[in-house]
Amino acid sequence: MRQTVPKMKTHKAAAKRIGITGSGKVIRVNAWRGHHLEIKSSRRTRRYAGKTVIGKQHAKQVRRLLPYLGEHK
């Protein structure tokens, strides 16, 4: 009988928020863009638009949460 290593589980909340670019950089959506946008100035909402690359200091933590990030199906 073959011994198999258990599968690592993906952290589903992190998987919905974190992605990966074509070159392999980890990206996230900027904060403060969720709701109450009427109160915030246009300058503020433009600043919160788009995505941001996650720094290398958090790469180890992201890999622990998302062990299969970047693998194609």
> Whole-angstrom Cα distance, residue 21 to residue 38?
31
How much is the pTM?
0.76
Would 51 be classed as within a structural domain? yes
Would 54 be classed as within a structural domain? yes
Q: Is the pLDDT higher at 49 or at 73?
A: 49
The pLDDT score that the predictor gives to residue 73 is 62
Find the domain containing 34 and state its range. 12-65
Q: What's the gap between Cα 3 and its chain centre?
A: 33
Per-residue model confidence as pLDDT tens digits over 6-61: 999 999 999 999 999 999 999 999 999 999 999 999 999 999 999 999 999 998 89
Would 50 be classed as within a structural domain? yes
Residue 19, classed as helix, strand or coil, is strand
Would 35 be classed as within a structural domain? yes
Based on the structure, what is the number of domains in the chain?
Answer: 1
Looking at residue 46, which CATH number applies to its domain? 4.10.410.60
Q: Do residues 50 and 30 make contact, with C-beta atoms less than 8 angstroms apart?
A: yes
Q: Do residues 21 and 54 make contact, with C-beta atoms less than 8 angstroms apart?
A: no
